[in-house]
Amino acid sequence: MRLHEYQAKNVFADAGIPTPEATLASSVDEVVEAAEDIGYPVAVKAQVHVGGRGKAGGIKLAENKAEAEEYAEDILGMDLKGYHVERVLVEEAVNFKNELYVGVTMDRGEGKPVAMVSSKGGVDIESVAEETPEAIAREHVDPAFGMHPYQARKAVYEAGVPREVALDVASILQTLYQLWDDRDASEIEVNPLMITEDDEVIAADAVMNIDDDALFRQSDLAEMEEETYEDELEKKAGEYGFDYVRLDGNVGIIGNGAGLVMTTLDLVDYYGGTPANFLDIGGGAKAERVANALDMVFSDENVDSVVFNIFGGITRGDEVAKGINDALGQFDEIPKPVVVRLAGTRAEEGREILNDELVQVEETLEDAVQGAVKNAEGGQ
Amino acid sequence: MSVLVDEDTRVVVQGITGGEGKFHTAQMMDYGTNVVAGAVPGKGGQEVEGVPVYDTVEEAAREEDADASVVFVPPAFAADAVFEGLDAPLDLVVAITEGIPTQDMAKVHKRLGEVDTRLIGPNCPGIITPGEAKLGILPGNIFESGNVGLVSRSGTLTYQVVDNLTSRGIGQTTAIGIGGDPIIGTDFIDALELFEQDKDTQAVVMCGEIGGEDEEEAAQYIAQNMDTPVAGFIAGRTAPPGKRMGHAGAIVSGSGTGTAESKINALNDAGVPVGDTPNEVADHIEDFL
């Protein structure tokens, strides 16, 4: 789960990290009112879950009322990389002489959290990491013990943070680590962390992503979740609780287990088709869930054909077959041809149940995928 | 022959009184697994499937001389259950649970460096030595005893590849599902090392997927340390960058590492043929034997 900038900044501010004065606004009038309260210049910042908002026109600096109005009109309602902007953060523009980067994430290779500091802030940190990795100081943390203050200082000095603010930045890094640990973050960062003319340090942006698997013990953060989706189908997938990714092909793919579903996508491509989606029904799916999966894929208008690939371990073939029959039985005419391949637990029982007037049944993965690719060609 | 588990492995089921725990205890026992105890706090003294239940893993291990456990404990309590298995102490803990918070696993990972216990998983189908024992949820009937080792990040993909092997008469020594989470216990290199040392394992299948750099590191290990031939499969060639595909690990960062291409190239460079389809993996294994 990803927090919006304004939400993350509230969390940071509560933890004692300085943030600029700011107000959330959802109309032009509210933007102007907030800007007048804060005093010009102000930054008007789109609150959507995409990176590179500034470059995409989602962040603008207003020097006066006319500009605040103009930018509010520009940004509110705009389409930013597929997301509709409904709210902006109106924020005091900070005069800075320097921009830093600080963050904490999980180093999966090491199995440990790693704190990072760079004196090259304010830019895309991924390209800094790629082009000048030495510009980022990294400090691994013992997850059972937590971060020693000396480690935060070490990273800050290594990164070449100016002496006047080094201890303040170290203290902010320590606070970020504490938040990361307490709030089950998967990623937490401030970029840029601004150093003002008066040597104050202020978090001008805030990123905080929470581990979805840990939301059960972060209920206050879970309540902040404001799902935004790129399209209606992904929204539907969220409601059904599927792992679903929409792609741009025309062969709809449903399967169980991430590895097998990815493999099915790859085979569709291998046999000359193009996958329309990734949809994992997960383990142990019952008939209703299977029917929901078919509903999802049928409602994608790009889909010309569907392949169902189930290799049951926990998932039972007869249960899947029942779901497919139920879902297809509701139609007078099947909207798109469906190929089904059932293997593993109770697969034989499943194949017996399957109504082969409604679906094409194949024994092997290869035959099923090739069948679906052929059907898709016919549908175009 | 086999690695890690066989008919003598004495197994405790952690979470045996839950739905999954109970069902798979019966399945494991049907397969021949020597399940000697269950462990569930507060349920000591009960019996499940004829197996005595203890309040603690330590007591179960002591009373029933157990040396391994399978964890079917819900995610919120699963890391604690794994710690309990490590401290009992057992030789092997297999964590089936999906959805354990990553920070819990980071703490487990740290502890693993300090103990002799081996962890498999979490979020994995488990481990099976065909004809002898299975610890986990794998469908036993598709496996057959033989001389090919298998290690995989994905459960259902494991079943698919095993099916391709078994259907042409190629059996397996042991199959290890290591799990698709970002932080796991036993990794590819650990499993490959076990197979390299097992005199009965004559070839190994390694199934990886996009995300992380474990396959690239495994490729290096294979080139430098293995005489046993390895064939590979990498899922996620068609995955678009930046999208997460189910497994926590299966995300492509877009920065040139962790992609299917970089993994396939690394394996090819290490002399490991990578199948375009699971069936082709079986072709390569057939060539080796």
Closest-CA distance of chain B to residue A269, Å? 7
Residue, of B177 and A238, whose pLDDT is higher? B177
> Is the Cβ–Cβ distance between A97 and A196 less than 8 Å?
yes
pLDDT at B5: 94
* Residue contact A111–B244, C-beta within 8 A: no
Confirm or reject contact between A267 and chain B (CB < 8 A).
yes
Asked if the model's pLDDT at residue A278 lies above 80, the reply is yes
Note the pLDDT tens digit of each residue in B62-81: 999 999 999 999 999 999 99
As a whole number, mean pLDDT of residues B226-254 equals 81
Burial of B69 by CB count in 10 Å (0-12 exposed, 13-18 middle, 19+ buried)? buried
Residue that is written with structure tokens 């894929």 in the block: A297
Asked if the model's pLDDT at residue A295 lies above 70, the reply is yes
Residues of A annotated as part of the active site: 101, 189
- Read out DSSP for A221-268? HHTT-----SSHHHHHHHHHT-EEEE-SSSEEEEESSHHHHHHHHHHH
pLDDT at A315: 84
pLDDT at A252: 97
As a whole number, mean pLDDT of residues A87-107 equals 94
User: A314: which chain B residues are within 8 Å (Cβ-Cβ)?
Assistant: 20, 137
Its sign, for the CA torsion B134, B137, B140, B144, is: negative
pLDDT at B249: 63
Confirm or reject contact between A263 and chain B (CB < 8 A).
yes
Note the pLDDT tens digit of each residue in A202-233: 999 999 999 999 999 999 999 988 766 667 88
Asked if the model's pLDDT at residue B254 lies above 60, the reply is no
Residues of B annotated as part of the active site: 247
Which residue in the set B154, B235, B243 is minimally distant from A245, CB to CB?
Answer: B243
pLDDT at A316: 87
Q: How many CB atoms lie within 10 A of CB B253?
A: 14
User: B106: which chain A residues are within 8 Å (Cβ-Cβ)?
Assistant: 106, 111-113, 143
Rounded Cα gap, residues B240 and A246, in angstroms: 10
User: A260: which chain B residues are within 8 Å (Cβ-Cβ)?
Assistant: 154, 156-157, 159-160, 235
* Residue contact A278–B245, C-beta within 8 A: yes
Residues near A375 by beta carbon (within 8 Å), at least 6 away in sequence: A304, A305, A336, A337, A339, A360
User: A126: which chain B residues are within 8 Å (Cβ-Cβ)?
Assistant: 255
User: A366: which chain B residues are within 8 Å (Cβ-Cβ)?
Assistant: 277, 279
Confidence of residue A365 (pLDDT cuts 50, 70, 90): very high
pLDDT at A133: 81
- Which A residues, 294 through 333, put their C-beta within 8 Å of a C-beta on chain B? 311-314
Rounded Cα gap, residues A11 and A218, in angstroms: 13
Rounded Cα gap, residues B158 and B163, in angstroms: 8
Tell me phi and psi for residue B205, to 5 degrees. Answer: -105, 130
In a mutagenesis test of the A interface, which of B80, B143, B156 is the best target, namely the one with the most A β-carbons within 10 Å?
B156
Closest-CA distance of chain A to residue B236, Å? 5
Note the pLDDT tens digit of each residue in A44-55: 999 988 877 888
> Is the Cβ–Cβ distance between A291 and A325 less than 8 Å?
no
* Residue contact A111–B106, C-beta within 8 A: yes
Burial of B8 by CB count in 10 Å (0-12 exposed, 13-18 middle, 19+ buried)? exposed
Rounded Cα gap, residues B234 and B242, in angstroms: 18
Rounded Cα gap, residues A309 and B163, in angstroms: 14
In a mutagenesis test of the B interface, which of A213, A230, A248, A280 is the best target, namely the one with the most B β-carbons within 10 Å?
A213
Confidence of residue A82 (pLDDT cuts 50, 70, 90): confident
Confidence of residue B23 (pLDDT cuts 50, 70, 90): very high
- Can you give the pTM of this predicted structure? 0.93
pLDDT at A286: 83
Rounded Cα gap, residues A278 and A207, in angstroms: 28
Residue of A nearest to B161 (CA): A260
Residues near A131 by beta carbon (within 8 Å), at least 6 away in sequence: none
* Residue contact A263–B235, C-beta within 8 A: yes
As a whole number, mean pLDDT of residues B271-286 equals 97
Which residue in the set A126, A144, A247 is minimally distant from B110, CB to CB?
Answer: A144
Beta bridge partners of residue A45, listed in sequence order: A59, A89
pLDDT at B253: 58
Asked if the model's pLDDT at residue B250 lies above 70, the reply is no
Which residue in the set B100, B159, B255 is minimally distant from A344, CB to CB?
Answer: B159
Closest-CA distance of chain A to residue B168, Å? 13
Above pLDDT 70, what percent of chain A?
98
Rounded Cα gap, residues A117 and A179, in angstroms: 16
As a whole number, mean pLDDT of residues A133-138 equals 88
pLDDT at B256: 59
Question: Which of A90, A84, A98, A105 lies closest to A41, judged by CA?
Answer: A90
Residue of B nearest to A265 (CA): B238
- Which A residues, 111 through 130, put their C-beta within 8 Å of a C-beta on chain B? 111-113, 126, 130
User: B100: which chain A residues are within 8 Å (Cβ-Cβ)?
Assistant: 213
Question: Which of A266, A285, A106 lies closest to A189, judged by CA?
Answer: A106
pLDDT at A81: 80
Rounded Cα gap, residues B9 and B185, in angstroms: 19
Confidence of residue B248 (pLDDT cuts 50, 70, 90): low
* Residue contact B250–A143, C-beta within 8 A: no
Structure tokens at B273: 């043929």
Residue of A nearest to B177 (CA): A259
pLDDT at A288: 87
Confirm or reject contact between A273 and chain B (CB < 8 A).
no
Confirm or reject contact between A245 and chain B (CB < 8 A).
yes
* Residue contact B101–A211, C-beta within 8 A: yes
Q: If you average pLDDT over every residue of chain A, what do you get?
A: 92
Asked if the model's pLDDT at residue A235 lies above 90, the reply is no
> Is the Cβ–Cβ distance between B149 and B198 less than 8 Å?
yes
Asked if the model's pLDDT at residue A193 lies above 90, the reply is yes
Asked if the model's pLDDT at residue A379 lies above 60, the reply is no
Tell me the one-letter amino acid at A191: N
Q: How many CB atoms lie within 10 A of CB B241?
A: 12
* Residue contact B278–A243, C-beta within 8 A: no
Residue that is written with structure tokens 């103009």 in the block: A70
User: B235: which chain A residues are within 8 Å (Cβ-Cβ)?
Assistant: 259-260, 262-263, 266
Asked if the model's pLDDT at residue A243 lies above 90, the reply is no
Confidence of residue A313 (pLDDT cuts 50, 70, 90): confident
Residue that is written with structure tokens 């999906």 in the block: B98
Size of the A and B interface in Cβ pairs below 8 Å: 165
* Residue contact B246–A312, C-beta within 8 A: no
Q: If you average pLDDT over every residue of chain B, what do you get?
A: 94
> Is the Cβ–Cβ distance between A353 and A320 less than 8 Å?
no
pLDDT at B135: 98
